[in-house]
């Protein structure tokens, strides 16, 4: 049972100060925004990260292939009939959508590969000298 009294929450035997928790969240959000600005990360990653926190799932969790990623965005693909995940993308047009490996023009399905899930890619490594220069 969750109890709230005087800006404190009692959850599973532990007590949390709501104001301290809120300040910690704001600090984390500020750090994420600063990191996005410092690394030149694609716009939207911060918002997607917050959405995944709000939805209670990891931004880097596997998602069913039935719920495709953004059109033409590179992601990690998992396969029902292949042992290793590969980097690929999902493309959709007026006739429907399909998954592709890398920048290939042949669909995964045409190569007999059955995509069962996808995951966001982590931010690429950048040497600090590259970022500053």
User: pLDDT digit string (tens) for 79-126?
Assistant: 999 999 999 999 998 888 999 999 999 999 999 999 999 998 877 777
pLDDT of residue 78: 96
Phi/psi at 96 (5° precision): 130, -165
For 47-78, write each residue's pLDDT tens digit.
666 656 655 556 667 889 998 998 998 999 99
At 25, the pLDDT band (50, 70, 90 cuts) reads: confident
Reported pTM = 0.57
Mean pLDDT of the chain, nearest integer:
79
* Token reading at 85: 């995940």
Percentage of residues in the chain with pLDDT exceeding 70?
67
Write a three-state SS string for the chain: CEEEECCEEEECCEEEEHHHHHHHHHHHHHHHHHHHHHHCCCCCHHHHHHHHHHHCCCCCCCEECCCCCCCCCEEEEEECCCCCCEEEEEEEECCEEEEEECCCCCECHHHCCCEEEEEECCCCCCCHHHHHC
Q: In angstroms, rounded to a whole number, what is the distance separating the alpha carbons of residues 111 and 100?
A: 10
């Amino acid at each position: 049972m969750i109890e709230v009294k005087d800006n404190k929450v009692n959850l599973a035997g532990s007590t949390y100060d709501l104001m301290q928790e809120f300040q910690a969240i704001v600090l984390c959000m500020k750090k994420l925004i600063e990191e996005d600005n410092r690394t030149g990360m694609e716009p939207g990653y911060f918002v997607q990260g917050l959405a995944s926190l709000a939805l209670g799932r990891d931004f880097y969790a596997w998602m069913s292939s039935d719920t495709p990623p953004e059109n033409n965005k590179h992601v990690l693909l998992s396969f029902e009939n292949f042992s290793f995940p590969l980097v690929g993308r999902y493309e959709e047009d007026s006739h429907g959508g399909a998954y592709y490996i890398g920048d290939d023009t042949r669909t995964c399905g045409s190569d007999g590969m059955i995509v069962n899930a996808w995951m966001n890619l982590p931010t690429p490594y950048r040497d600090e000298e590259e970022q500053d220069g």
